[in-house]
Amino acid sequence: MNNMFMDVLIEKIKTCNNPTVAGLDPKIEFVPSFIIQDNYRKYGETLKGASEAILEFNTTIIDNIYDIVPAVKPQLAYYESFGVEGMKTFKKTVEYAHSKGLIVIADGKRNDIGSTSEAYSNAFIGETRIGIESFVPAFDADALTVNPYLGIDGIKPFIDDCEKHSKGIFVLVKTSNPSSGQLQDLVLDVGMKVYERVADLVVEWGENLIGSYGYSSVGAVVGATWPSQAAALRQRMPNAFFLVPGYGAQGGTSKDIAVNFNEDGLGAIVNASRSLMCAYKSTIWKDQFSEFDFGKACRAEAIRMRDDINSAIGG
Amino acid sequence: MNNMFMDVLIEKIKTCNNPTVAGLDPKIEFVPSFIIQDNYRKYGETLKGASEAILEFNTTIIDNIYDIVPAVKPQLAYYESFGVEGMKTFKKTVEYAHSKGLIVIADGKRNDIGSTSEAYSNAFIGETRIGIESFVPAFDADALTVNPYLGIDGIKPFIDDCEKHSKGIFVLVKTSNPSSGQLQDLVLDVGMKVYERVADLVVEWGENLIGSYGYSSVGAVVGATWPSQAAALRQRMPNAFFLVPGYGAQGGTSKDIAVNFNEDGLGAIVNASRSLMCAYKSTIWKDQFSEFDFGKACRAEAIRMRDDINSAIGG
């Protein structure tokens, strides 16, 4: 058996002493204007120009945080919104993050029927068949977020690639958005809620991929905005590693987040996107850093976030 | 108010007298070997070579069916599995289909929290902000399939673009795959199943986008493999237009499919992918057409499928 993805992630978290992941969700308005202007001058005010600006933004952010955070989480929607050029920037961002030793969690919430999920899995965490015996990775991330609505058929191809290529997935269980309860909190006839049933399925789906720290490479997405539900899920899914979005800009505090961790100090990785990418514009940092120093502002915020979360877990 | 997407689709279905959509889900093994060899010779046995072969395959298929079928449905997973080059082929396929007058339904099952769904919507059915007042479409399809697991927050941005840009969405309700019931068929405390609750939400989400034929531009995905559930959904969601996958290779017959239509002969569009793309290899057509005539085989199968479904609806 190869190394398990979740073991690799945990070791990197331990090395950095930092259970956080930097979300790379680049809206064009997050990018400092001097980068935009420079790239629009070179490439035009086009999808290409915007995508080049975002690549420069991302690589500078990575340069400033790769020794502090264990992982980055590019959100595919933002890259897709810039078309083919945006996907080129996605690919180059993955490659650049890898060159700096970062783990890459592609956030795509992908899902479909089995044969189609296999193609998604090939795209992001596996390899695509080109010839009779030739297979090529396409985007080559280390993990992918996936949606459970279609049941095990749509999840199995991802699990197979997790096993074969030492990759990971995080399955949506309880999401951070205000309307997450519209489906996820519906109460079943057996008493539990839909997301609790999904949690039980995720435990089942991950049971053959539990690594040496006791966590499966089939993880769960559990939003920081629902701390009491997260605390119950922590008990319900002891071997599931949680990817926790919603810290910072979405309103989750470090105290809200502490419930996602186990007594071993492990069990979760907390994402922040806007608060890191836009640190240079934030009330905390804007007096100290100009837009030209957005990378340093991001670093300062990454350190503040690390310490904030570590103190909440430690306490 | 602009034209409603669903009115445009219905008019095209009426013009063609054909309520079917051709799925363009190109695995490399679907493409005739002479096309593959030619493109590998030009571009190498690479993601680029494969993507160019698929583009040639797709455009030939489109050339052979554009006057028969109203729409094509490229499945994003397959294009993504060939990386950036695959997405280039996706974009060119959309453009080529449009140049031949076809409606394009991008099958991506996209979903996320509100701000991220907005980026997905921008990517596929809206426009992405580039400058302060400049917005550019990225992939520019006419409709997109979406996943409801995150509730209205994750759907609203798509609905807004449907209204603003005369586009459509099809929300997953009851999918065609064997394990679709694992979540979708769970019984709620109020007696109905999860997918029935989703159906009710889809009706609610679509009520402001009902066009002149009485169908909303917020449609539903209802698998051909569950005819009794589809019949009940047809009653439950009278104003929802159904996108029906699962005909042919997945086992749904024209008789199974007839229940998805209303008495007006409208209400559904039936997808087939493999049976059209691989018609030249099928038991029905392989004696009549060589791989060099895969386009003609696809046309013959598209006509057979049209007539099969029309006779089932008519009868």
Distance of CA B240 to the CA centre of its chain: 15
Residue of B nearest to A138 (CA): B83
Best of A115, A152, A180 to mutate (most B CBs within 10 Å, chain B): A115
Q: How high does pLDDT run on average in chain B?
A: 96
Whether residue B305 contacts residue B248, with contact meaning beta carbons closer than 8 Å, is answered with: yes
* Alpha-carbon distances, residue B137 vs B91, B140, B165, B196 (angstroms): 11, 6, 11, 34
Q: Comparing C-alpha atoms, which of B136, B54, B142, B52 is closest to residue B97?
A: B142
**Structure confidence at residue A2 (pLDDT):** 65
CB burial readout B191-210, b (16+ within 10 A) else e: eebbbbbbbebbbebbeebb
Confidence band of B99 (pLDDT split at 50, 70, 90): very high
**Domain B5-310, what architecture?**
Alpha-Beta Barrel (3.20)
State the angle between helix axes of A47-65 and A294-314 in degrees (0 to 180), rounded to the nearest 10. 50
Q: Mind telling me how many Å the CA of A191 is from chain B's nearest CA?
A: 7
Place of tokens 């902000």: B129
One-letter amino acid of B27: K
The helix (H) or strand (E) run that includes residue B7 is helix B5-16
What tokens appear for B91 in the block? 């974009």
Report CB contact under 8 Å: B172, A179.
no
A266 three-class SS: coil
Pairing state of beta strands A143-146 and A168-174? parallel
Q: What is the ipTM of this complex?
A: 0.97
Q: Comparing C-alpha atoms, which of A259, A239, A269 is closest to residue A105?
A: A269
Of B50, B109, B182, the CB nearest to A152: B182
Q: Comparing C-alpha atoms, which of A233, A226, A146, A221 is closest to residue A178?
A: A226
DSSP state for residue B240 in the 8-state scheme:
E
Report CB contact under 8 Å: A197, B183.
yes
Q: Which residues contact B3 (CB under 8 A, 6 or more apart)?
A: B166
Confidence band of B315 (pLDDT split at 50, 70, 90): very low
Which residues of B participate in catalysis according to the annotation?
Answer: 109
Q: Bridge partners of A310?
A: none
d(CA B62, CA B56): 10
**Structure confidence at residue B190 (pLDDT):** 97
Q: ∠ at Cα B171 (B165, B175), nearest 5°?
A: 150
B2 or B85: which carries more pLDDT confidence? B85
d(CA B247, CA B260): 12
Give, for all 315 residues of chain A, the pLDDT tens digit.
568 999 999 999 999 999 999 999 999 999 999 999 999 999 999 999 999 999 999 999 999 999 999 999 999 999 999 999 999 999 999 999 999 999 999 999 999 999 999 999 999 999 999 988 899 999 999 999 999 999 999 999 999 999 999 999 999 999 999 999 999 999 999 999 999 999 999 999 999 999 999 999 999 999 999 999 999 999 999 999 999 998 877 788 888 899 999 999 999 999 999 999 999 999 999 999 999 999 999 999 999 999 999 999 984
d(CA A139, CA B82): 9
Torsion of CA B43, B48, B49, B53, to 10 degrees: -130
B window 233-272, beta carbon within 8 A of A: 245, 250
Whether residue B294 contacts residue B279, with contact meaning beta carbons closer than 8 Å, is answered with: yes
Q: Comparing C-alpha atoms, which of B79, B75, B74, B35 is closest to residue B53?
A: B35
- Chain B residues touching A153 at Cβ < 8 A: 177-180
Confidence band of B228 (pLDDT split at 50, 70, 90): very high
Of B124, B149, B181, the CB nearest to A147: B149
B window 88-107, beta carbon within 8 A of A: 88, 91
Q: How does DSSP assign B258-282, residue by residue?
A: HTTS-TTS-SEEEEESHHHHTGGGS
Report CB contact under 8 Å: B81, A128.
yes
pLDDT digits 0-9 by tens, B252-307: 888 889 999 999 999 999 999 999 999 999 999 999 999 999 999 999 999 999 99
**Does the beta carbon of A27 lie under 8 angstroms from any beta carbon of chain B?**
yes
* Alpha-carbon distances, residue A247 vs A26, A251, A274, B118, B172 (angstroms): 17, 6, 10, 20, 29
d(CA B219, CA B216): 6
d(CA B220, CA B263): 18
Residue of B nearest to A75 (CA): B116
One-letter amino acid of A76: L
Q: Is the pLDDT of residue B249 over 80?
A: no
Q: Bridge partners of A187?
A: A193
Distance of CA A181 to the CA centre of its chain: 21
φ and ψ of A280, to 5 deg: -65, -15
Report CB contact under 8 Å: A84, B88.
yes
d(CA B204, CA B236): 12
Whether residue A223 contacts residue B116, with contact meaning beta carbons closer than 8 Å, is answered with: no
Best of A91, A124, A136, A177 to mutate (most B CBs within 10 Å, chain B): A177
DSSP state for residue B176 in the 8-state scheme:
S
Out of A74-83, B57-66, B244-253, B301-310, pick the least confident. Answer: B244-253
d(CA B169, CA A8): 39
**Domain A5-314, what architecture?**
Alpha-Beta Barrel (3.20)
